[in-house]
Structure 1
Amino acid sequence: MFSVTPVKDLVLIGGGHSHVIVLKQLAINPIPRLRLTLISDVYHTPYSGMLPGYIAGLYKFNDCHIDVQALANLAKARLLIDRAIGLDLQTNQVLCANRPPVPFDILSIDIGSTPGTMTVPGVQQQAIPVKPIAKFLDHWDKIVETVRENPREKMRLAVVGGGAGGVELTLAIFSRLQQIYGLHSQLPENHLELHLFQKSDRLIPQRHPGVSQRLQKLISSRGINLHLGETVTEIEGKSPHSIHCESGLTVKCDRLFWVTQARAATWLKDAGLATDDQGFILVNDYLQSISHPDIFAAGDIATMLNHPRPKAGVFAVRQGKPLAENLGRKANQQPLKPYRPQKEFLILISTGDQQAIASRGCFRLGPHPLIWQWKDHIDRQFMNNFTQLD
């Protein structure tokens, strides 16, 4: 009598950068007797590298969003539009917000992160967090529409967080709204009031000081109010909001975007997964949970125990193929392959006006249109992997 290999359930939670690559890889090289399920709370997952360009009006929605349904169909995966809210690790089930638990034999998690320090008084009620991105973009599209319909009303906006994400967002907001206001020649120059708060004494402190200096000079030259060394302690009142800082500084604004250091969803640690101090899943060199060998994680939600790296999209993209290979090896009971991330990594910071700054280690260049063209080419190449599925 011949034994039949049982069907195994591989469940992917989240449609992040690593998981869309996994889906594409499994579509190209399907694994026999592996049933694939994707749990995603959106039909279109955003590519973070192009979002500043979208906010600045340089891209359309479809340019920077991946059609998760089409990708799932290509990989012959079942797509469940829902939000994971917990794990039952005794029975190997994913708990969802709106449907019965989803069983798994192998699980992979790529759900990104959310802005940290949301416990600051008033932030939960008044601030617009940049993640989840889909909700943030809903808010942004409404702001753009408000400015279009009421261009003579002054708009006061603030961004809290001076990392790469906060800087790109601030410059993109400025460029987009200035485009709209520029259509109305009778408006005063200061019709847009924009503030950027950073608790450190310089922007993007993880990069070379020369990058910080260039960005600070650029931001100031555009009339954006830069508040360095300012820790926001409270957001008071509905629009207009009063932003209170530890120093005593108070600034009023109509909308407030929160782009501070990332944190993880609390249900991961609550389920019993080993996590770091911020709640991110601790994984080994195989992108495998150090506490639960049937669970893998990648992207912002994971911290590599032996190779900790910043939360940056470049690592999520690079982890995609190694993750796909190890999920396949796990399903086939083969030895896993280690993955070692690069130590130095290039970032291309868009400045909202079809220019960008390049930074890697001590190297920095720009802002310059050629660097934007380089970045645009890289981003469009990545997206072509998921828009040309035939």
Structure 2
Amino acid sequence: MASERTLVLVGGGHSHVQVLRGFGERPEPGVRLTLVSRDLQAPYSGMLPGFIAGHYRFGECHIDLHPLATFAGATLIHDEVTGIDRAAKRLRLRNGAPLPYDLLSLDIGSTPKAEDVPGAAEHAIAVKPVDRLAERWARLVEEVRAAAAPPTLVLVGGGPAGVEMILAMQHRFRTLLGDPPERQPRFALVTRGGLLERHNRFVRAAFRRVLARRNVAVHEDAAVERVEAGCLHIANGRRITFDTALWAVQAGAAPWLAGTGLDLDAGGFVIVEETLRSTNDPCVFAAGDVASMQGHPREKAGVIAVRHGPPLAANLRRALAGEPLRPFVPQSQWLALISTGDRHAVASRGWLYAEGNWVWRVKDGIDRRFMRRFQELPPQTG
């Protein structure tokens, strides 16, 4: 009989929760499964703007990893990986002993590249990693409520995440603080290029209308050169003052990956083949934001991480069985459903555009169905 093999999953991201669910439904004989996660409540990024806006409770948009790991028959280690000894096939943990593996999969998300802009890490609140967002948001709500005068909140980042976040915040504070309007915080959105550059002109126009209607100042073509306490310095010499700044720009990779010897792209992300396996280590896989598929660049989006889940699970099984892996390439365009803070959303794909409360209801239904797969686990037998 073959000896037991150890599969270690690092991170409870959108791809790994699907691996856990799949291994729970169909256990792999002779495989010891371990999950290492810094946080025990895994957020679903698609519902976080709704959580900020007040449409969802914490438990509705977070996956409790403990029952999911139990369902999968996995050992859950509440710790953070700080490095990989690939020669010895061991993970270095912040608080524990080295952890051996036979097969390793990384799904640890990304973090904003605040260090690229002097002062950003010290004077701005990072929107990512999203698993810390609920805590940061609760503190910000209390600070705004306690402020003697309405503060100015500035968000840096003009992609879907930034636009959804600032509109969600604006909606939530309008609900919390009520009228008159002068009690409300002032909001500004700052983006290096144009607003929602990857989306068609109808989508961009729709959000410009919404932002104008909500009195959110939009500063396009405003590259931030440095951040000081209370002030963004823009490349053209302008200054934008703030009481609180949030950072939602293009994400970077975990710094410890640089010391692993894995092939990494310019952003520090793990380069993988179409099979989601590392290009220079057959024992390491990566999915979600931390993965960069060779020859198929994609933006860092939750929908990509979700779609990595099933092929990752299938190829991990094949690798454990010594079978050939199968390629998977995520589509280059997908339907984006971008919320406007209230129960309203805009649909975008290529030149497709639609908006309305019905779009939000479609998005809400899709998101809730995804979450139910991990919150309503089937009973275990045997």
Residue 192 (1) aligns with residue 180 (2): no
Equivalences for residues 230-249 of structure 1 within 5 A? 230-237=222-229, 241-249=230-238
Instruction: For 1:210 and 1:291, locate their aligned partners in 2 and report how far apart those are by CA, in whole Å.
Output: 43
Match of 2:172 in 1: 176
> What do the CA deviations read for 1:225-273 (whole angstroms, capped 9, x no partner)?
1111101112212xxx111111222122121110001111122232100
Structure-1 separation of matches of 2:191 and 2:183: 22
Give, as a single letter, the amino acid of the residue that structure 1 aligns with 2:35. L
Q: Deviations over 1:120-177 (max 9, x none)?
A: 12111111111122323211111223344x3763121110010110000010010001
Q: Which moved more, 1:167-176 or 1:203-212?
A: 203-212
1:40-59 equivalence runs, <5 A:
40-59=37-56
Give me the identity figure in percent: 42
Cα deviations by residue, 1:42-89 (Å, 9 ceiling, x for unpaired): 110000000000000110000000000110000110111111111111
> Could you tell me which residue of structure 2 aligns to residue 124 of structure 1?
121
Partners of 2:167 and 2:184 in 1: CA distance: 16
Match of 1:84 among 81, 95, 118: 81
Q: CA deviation at 1:348?
A: 0.3
After TM superposition, give the deviation of residue 197 of structure 1 in Å: 0.3
2:99 corresponds to: 102
| Alpha-carbon distance in 1 for matches of 2:241, 2:195 | 22
| Superposition TM-score, scaled by structure 2 size | 0.96
Equivalence for 1:294: 283
Determine which of 166, 169, 172 is the counterpart of 2:162: 166
Q: In structure 2, how many angstroms separate the alpha carbons of the residues matched to 1:143 and 1:83?
A: 26
1:6 aligns with 2:3: yes
Q: How many Å separate the matches in 2 of 1:24 and 1:259?
A: 30
Matching residue of 2:34: 37
- Alignment partner, residue 67 of structure 1: 64
**Structure 2 partner of 1:18:** 15
2:351 is matched with which residue: 349, 362, 387? Answer: 362
Report if aligned partners of 1:158, 1:255 keep a CA contact under 8 Å in 2. yes
**Contact 1:147/1:180, CA 8 A, preserved across alignment:** no
Runs of at least 5 residues in structure 1 that lack an aligned partner in the other structure: none
Worse overlay, 283-292 or 210-219: 210-219
CA displacement at 1:188 relative to structure 2: 4.5
Length, aligned pairs only: 378
- Report the alpha carbon displacement of residue 371 of structure 1 after superposing the two structures with TM: 0.1
In 1, the alpha carbon distance for the partners of 2:267 and 2:18 equals 26
Instruction: Tell me the TM-score normalised to structure 1 length.
Output: 0.94
RMSD of aligned alpha carbons = 1.3
Q: Does 1:210 align with 2:202?
A: yes
| 1:380 corresponds to 2:371 | no
Q: Distance in 2 between matches of 1:290 and 1:209?
A: 38
SS in 2 for 1:42: coil
- Give the AA of the match of 1:315: I
The offset of 1:118, in angstroms, is: 2.5
1:134-173 matches, cutoff 5 A: 134-148=131-145, 150=146, 153-173=149-169
The match for 1:114 is: 111
- Structure 2 portions without partners, runs of 5+: none
Post-superposition offset of 1:214:
1.5
Retained in 1: the 8 A contact 2:177–2:183? no
Contact map agreement 2:8 2:105 (CA 8 A) in 1 = yes
C-alpha separation between the residues in 1 aligned to 2:206 and 2:183?
23
- C-alpha contact (below 8 Å) 1:22/1:323 kept by paired residues: yes
